[in-house]
Amino acid sequence: MTHKRLMDLDVKKKKVIVRVDFNVPLEKGRVRDDTRIRAALPTLEYLLQEEAALIILSHLGRPKGEVKTEMRLDPVAQRLSDLLQVEVLKSDQVRGPEVKEMVEKLKPGQVCMLENTRFDPGEEENSQELAEEWASLADVFVSDAFGTLHRAHASNAGLARFLPSGAGLLVEKELEALGSLRGANVERPFAAILGGAKVSDKLGVIEALLTRVDFMVLGGGMANTFLAAQGMEMGDSLVEEEQVGTAKQLMEKAKEAGKEIILPIDLVISPQTDKSDEKTVTDENVTPGWKAVDVGPRSIELFREKLQKAGTIFWNGPLGVFEVEEFARGTIEIARALSQSQAWTVIGGGDSVAAVEAAGVADKMGHICTGGGAALKYLEGKELPGLKALEVEG
């Protein structure tokens, strides 16, 4: 099955509803990081060149179907207006007469943004009624929120049922980059770096990637579970006891397939995860009452040495308690190592993106995904409902 693309659609002077992912951090009423807004500009600018009138939909945060003042999209609309150099009209409503009136008055080349889609409970319920109401506003639907494609929501999978629909330029760019990791021609050695808190959150993608990569580097809380599976005492570290057996099986499976799972060989540990009281342990158990909060200097060197040989690298997830500055060193150092690598690097969303930005090396990465959850589902080979809704026969 193939899906329709923006370039397959007749958008000339049409009213086009565009689902974007402007779930950006706000600070004191302003957008703190506009990366996701900038990522959507090629699609929006193309549509404006075609003299389309744009109705923009986005969510922000997790308001769970309730109106929350701090999650309104006014600062986002202002930032988009600055970037597009076009006035972006903003509705305080998600749906209803006020929205309909605003959209009816839109002329070719004008842009409006509706309020946070998740203020309406029908969004996450994939309400047909809500999708139909939105669809009645426009002639065409463009899906350009890659970060939500793994969700079946009214503003993506729902809308695609009622309008001529296609994937935007950002979605196409994301699929091309991630598709290269699933293809037979990936440049080897192919390495994956996976971090984050829990093995259970990424079990599917670990299993899927182990069939494709030549080696895998594990860090963060998930590495603790693998270290525990090797018999190491982990003190008060986050360990998923119910996944220890699975971790052991994965290591055995990797060994049989000639794949290497590389784990930390030293750890920064602390009695707290919000203080800088720390010490490094090497080839020994974690002190009772203490917990692993980062990979140690020997691990960083080991990871750097291994990654220097890679032809392709995919990275998702921090290698320590990245949100605490004192425990972010391992994650930042790996970001720097990737910037010096000759490999094609794909950064899989979330804290990994924050890390390459904090290290000042984002411009040296091959591709930075705007949606970590969607990227992992895609690499796992799972269906993305928002993408499936765009499929056509042929």
> Hey, is 26 helix, strand or coil?
strand
> Hey, is 194 helix, strand or coil?
strand
Joined together, the tokens standing for residue 247 give 């971790």
Q: Which of 122, 195, 330, 350 is catalytic?
A: 350
Q: Which of 4, 198, 309, 388 is catalytic?
A: 198
How many Cβ atoms are within 10 Å of 110's Cβ, its own excluded?
A: 20
Our answer to whether residue 350 is catalytic in this structure is yes
> Hey, is 277 helix, strand or coil?
coil
Our answer to whether residue 349 is catalytic in this structure is no
Q: CA-CA distance, 327 to 238, in Å (whole number)? A: 15
How many Cβ atoms are within 10 Å of 374's Cβ, its own excluded?
A: 28
Beta bridge partners of 168: none
Report the 3 state secondary structure along 36-49. HHHHHHHHHHHHHH
**Residues whose CB is less than 8 angstroms from the CB of residue 167 and which lie 6 or more positions away in sequence, other chains included:** 3, 4, 5, 6, 142, 143, 144, 175, 387, 390
Q: CA-CA distance, 247 to 210, in Å (whole number)? A: 13
Q: CA-CA distance, 327 to 294, in Å (whole number)? A: 6
* DSSP letter assigned to residue 279: E
**Residues whose CB is less than 8 angstroms from the CB of residue 355 and which lie 6 or more positions away in sequence, other chains included:** 318, 322, 328, 331, 332, 334, 335
What are the φ/ψ torsions at residue 363 (nearest 5 degrees)?
Answer: -75, -10
Q: Which of 221, 320, 373, 386 is catalytic?
A: 373
Are the C-beta atoms of 156 and 149 separated by less than 8 Å? yes
Q: Which of 36, 95, 173, 329 is catalytic?
A: 36
Cα–Cα distances (Å) from 278 to 123, 271, 274, 296, in that order, read: 45, 8, 11, 11
Which residues belong to the active site?
36, 198, 350, 373
